[in-house]
């Protein structure tokens, strides 16, 4: 994929970056260099390679999936101006 001057101008506008018309060729060249690098990365064979968290082998710290501060429905609903059947009640806004 190649970026032309029109596409570079459009990207600059979408990014809200003011680029003078005489600087557009350099910007398009930079975009093309970046895209070329990305294309090189897509050519790398990563079959059988496990994803890494870090460059040093380590495991993420895990925690037990338990409720530590639950079962407070009545306390929470006591702050509501209107609660019905265990839920916050809100006025109807759509007719």
Instruction: Calculate the CA 4 to chain-centre distance.
Output: 27
> What tokens does 29 get?
């060249």
pTM of the complete model:
0.50
Do the beta carbons of residue 24 and residue 4 sit within 8 Å?
Answer: no
Q: How deeply is 24 buried, as exposed, middle or buried, from its count of CB atoms within 10 A (0-12, 13-18, 19+)?
A: middle
pLDDT score recorded for residue 64: 87
Distance between CA atoms of 42 and 3, rounded to whole angstroms? 18
Q: What is the model's pLDDT at position 53?
A: 73
pLDDT tens-digit map of 22-77: 999 999 999 999 999 999 988 889 898 888 777 787 777 888 888 778 888 999 99
């Amino acid at each position: 994929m190649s970026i032309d001057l029109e596409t570079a101008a459009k990207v600059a506008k979408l990014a809200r970056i003011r680029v003078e018309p005489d600087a557009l060729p350099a910007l398009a060249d930079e975009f093309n260099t970046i895209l070329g690098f990305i294309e090189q990365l897509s050519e790398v064979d990563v079959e059988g390679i496990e994803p890494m968290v870090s460059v040093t082998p380590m495991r993420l710290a895990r925690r037990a999936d338990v409720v530590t501060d639950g079962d407070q429905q009545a306390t929470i609903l006591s702050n509501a101006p209107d609660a019905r059947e265990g839920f916050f009640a809100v006025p109807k806004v759509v007719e």
